[in-house]
Structure formats: structure tokens, C-alpha cells
A and B are shown apart, each in its own frame.
Chain A
Amino acid sequence: MKSGVVELALHREPCNEIGSLTLDELERFVRALDGLQGEAHALIIYSELKAGFCAGADLRELYRRSQELERKDAAVGVREYLERIHQVLNTIDASPLTTIAAVHGVTFGGGFELALVCDLIIADKMARFCFPELRLGLIPGFGGIPRLKRDLGNAVVRDLLLTGRSFNATKLQQVGLASQVVGEGESLRVARATAAQLGKFDRRTAIAAKKFIKPIPYEELRKEIDVFCELFAQPAVEAGLRKFVESEEAQPYLP
């Protein structure tokens, strides 16, 4: 933490995929965040990796684990994983700090969902956003749909979800999700400048405003976990995950 701004730097190669290790670290982070809230006013989440902000869930690990377990146990494991990531993301979403995602490059699936929990998204002009889950026979599972519905018109949500196409940063700003689009390599600098500005406001007022403006869609988030788990049991998912894992593409998560 520096000058009242907490920074969470993602740095797991190749592109901050969220598997069990990253999830453990995120859980530790949100526990520590609780103790910092008295002296901090803002949180910035960014990536130190050139490839991008975050490519989402670690699908290789998800596939490997689901292969090692009986079908019933795999389903239980997936639900437990989702419950844990939802707990982390709901905590950041509801944090009294003003939260900023400073994003660049690949911001796909769970990475996009991580950005969506933040109050502001500051996007490098080369950032790319996508929900490719339907290609795997799934829906986003880290709270993406309820949070998109909170922030966007339903037609845009359908476009993102049902086509799986990626948006560039300008498009993300046009639809109302990105707060600022900045030059290449500038998102963290601009996020820090924005966080410094936020520090000038009365904290109690800022907290009250955020609580009033940004409801957490808990009921829909619960429903999303149920739908995801129901779909995860379908054979299409195993086939989709296998195709992904066996792909020889350098970046197989790309659409």
C-alpha cells in the first residue's frame, strides 16, 4: 500500500490464469484487505505480464482435475471452486475501497469477470475483452452474467455471451463498461492518478455513494453457480475442455 492505495499485481505466467494457486493467493489477499481498509481509500488491480490482464480460469487444471476424479466428485470440486472464487470476487465487489481494474491485453472469461467486480475499468487501447465460455459448452462462472446485467443493456450482454466475440477497449467504453481508454502501456499510470484523485474525497461519503450506486446481485450470482454446475455435467464440456487442452495453439483460449 502506498498513499492510501492498495495495489494487487497479477503475475502468474502465461496470462494470470486462475487456478488453485492463484485462488489461494486471492483468498489471502482479500483477508489482508480487511485489515487495510481503515487506512486505504482505493484498490488497483493490474497485471505485470505483457500478455494481458488475465485469461480467466485455468482450464488445463480444471480439465486435469476433472479427469482424475469420479464424475460426482468432479462436480463437487467445481462447485467448491466456484463458491471460493465467488467469495473472493463478492468481497472485492463490496469493498468500501474504490476499486480500479487497470487492464491491458487479454482480458478474457474469468479475467473479464475480475475486472467487472471493480468500480472502474481503465483500459489500455490494445486491451481485448471476451467471454468465450460458450465454446466450451459453459457459461461464465465467476459472476460475469449478473455483473454484466447490472451494468449493461441486455442486448449487449447477449452479444458478448452468445457470439463469444471479443470487444476492443473503444467498444467497451462505447457500451459503457470502460471508464477510460488510454494509450498503450498507460493504464496503470492513469489508474494511479485516478486513485490519487479519489483520495481527496471524504471516505464516509464515498463509501455511502458506492453502496447506494452498486448493489451486489447475490441472488443471481447464486443462480449462476447452479446453472454452471448443471452445464458442467454435460458431455459437451468434457469435449470442449479436451479440445482446448490438446490444442497446439500458442494461446488456445483465443476465440
Chain B
Amino acid sequence: MTAFNQTLEDILNLAATHFKVPREKLTPDDDFFKTLGIDSLQALDLLTRLEHHFRIELPDYELQGVSDFRTLADRIQARL
């Protein structure tokens, strides 16, 4: 598995676990607001969990307009 795919997989697993959504229901190109049924406050919660998990800082402005897991993984991968 490439580093990018591993990052993507970690994000999907973390999102599924935390927001209690079956992992098999999540795909990389899903709009995570819709699939997880979260608002912007919960998205901020997800951001904080991802920062802790990957031990990175992810400025909010880098996520403006980002709503799918693949792009999110791309932004995170750029900081690993």
C-alpha cells in the first residue's frame, strides 16, 4: 500500500469509528459532510482528531472547500 493510500485508509477508519458509520459505507470520493452527517463543528472535531492521529498541524484555511476524503488525505499527506 502506498503512503497516500495508507493515509486515506487511516482517515476513513478514524471517521467511521468516531462517527459510528460502517466503514464499508465510506468511499474516498464521498462528501464527508453528507456521508457522516456532520456539521462544521463536527468537521472541526474531525480535524482535531486527524491532527492528533497524524501528529501534524493542519491550518483550517487549507481545508476550505475540501469536503471529500481523498482531497483531505492529499492535504494531510503533504504534511507527513
Residues of A within 8 A of B (CB): 51, 106, 125-126, 128, 130, 163-166, 168, 170-171, 249-251, 254-255
In the complex, 5 of the A-B residue pairs with CB atoms within 8 angstroms, ordered by the A residue number, are A165-B61, A166-B44, A171-B57, A251-B39, A251-B40
Q: How far is the CB of A155 from chain B (nearest CB, A)?
A: 15
> How distant is the Cα of A209 from the Cα of B69 in the complex, in angstroms?
50
In the bound complex, do residue B41 and residue A255 qualify as a contact, i.e. CB atoms below 8 Å apart?
Answer: no
B5 close to chain A: CB less than 8 A? no
In the bound complex, do residue A165 and residue B60 qualify as a contact, i.e. CB atoms below 8 Å apart?
Answer: yes
In the bound complex, do residue A125 and residue B52 qualify as a contact, i.e. CB atoms below 8 Å apart?
Answer: yes
B35 close to chain A: CB less than 8 A? no
In the bound complex, do residue A126 and residue B40 qualify as a contact, i.e. CB atoms below 8 Å apart?
Answer: no
Q: From B40, B52, B59, give the contact of A254 (CB < 8 A).
A: B40
B30 close to chain A: CB less than 8 A? no
B29 close to chain A: CB less than 8 A? no
In the bound complex, do residue B48 and residue A168 qualify as a contact, i.e. CB atoms below 8 Å apart?
Answer: yes
B74 close to chain A: CB less than 8 A? no
Q: From A51, A128, A171, A255, give the contact of B61 (CB < 8 A).
A: A255
0 or 1 for each of B23-57: is its CB under 8 Å from A? (1 = yes): 00000000000000001110011001101100001
Residues of B within 8 A of A (CB): 39-41, 44-45, 48-49, 51-52, 57, 59-61
In the bound complex, do residue B57 and residue A166 qualify as a contact, i.e. CB atoms below 8 Å apart?
Answer: no
Residues of chain A contacted by B52 (CB below 8 angstroms):
125, 168, 170
> How distant is the Cα of A241 from the Cα of B60 in the complex, in angstroms?
20
Q: How far is the CB of B33 from chain A (nearest CB, A)?
A: 10
Q: How far is the CB of B44 from chain A (nearest CB, A)?
A: 6
In the bound complex, do residue A249 and residue B48 qualify as a contact, i.e. CB atoms below 8 Å apart?
Answer: no
Residues of chain A contacted by B51 (CB below 8 angstroms):
168, 170
> How distant is the Cα of A106 from the Cα of B59 in the complex, in angstroms?
15
Given contacts A126-B48, A128-B48, contact A163 B41 (CB under 8 A): no
In the bound complex, do residue A166 and residue B60 qualify as a contact, i.e. CB atoms below 8 Å apart?
Answer: yes
> How distant is the Cα of A168 from the Cα of B59 in the complex, in angstroms?
10
Residues of chain B contacted by A164 (CB below 8 angstroms):
61
Given contacts A125-B52, A126-B45, contact A165 B59 (CB under 8 A): yes
> How distant is the Cα of A106 from the Cα of B51 in the complex, in angstroms?
16
In the bound complex, do residue B41 and residue A250 qualify as a contact, i.e. CB atoms below 8 Å apart?
Answer: yes
Residues of chain A contacted by B40 (CB below 8 angstroms):
249-251, 254
Q: How far is the CB of B39 from chain A (nearest CB, A)?
A: 4
- Shortest 4 CB-CB contacts between residues of A and residues of B: A250-B39, A165-B59, A255-B60, A251-B41
Q: How far is the CB of A55 from chain B (nearest CB, A)?
A: 10
> How distant is the Cα of A165 from the Cα of B45 in the complex, in angstroms?
15
> How distant is the Cα of A170 from the Cα of B49 in the complex, in angstroms?
12
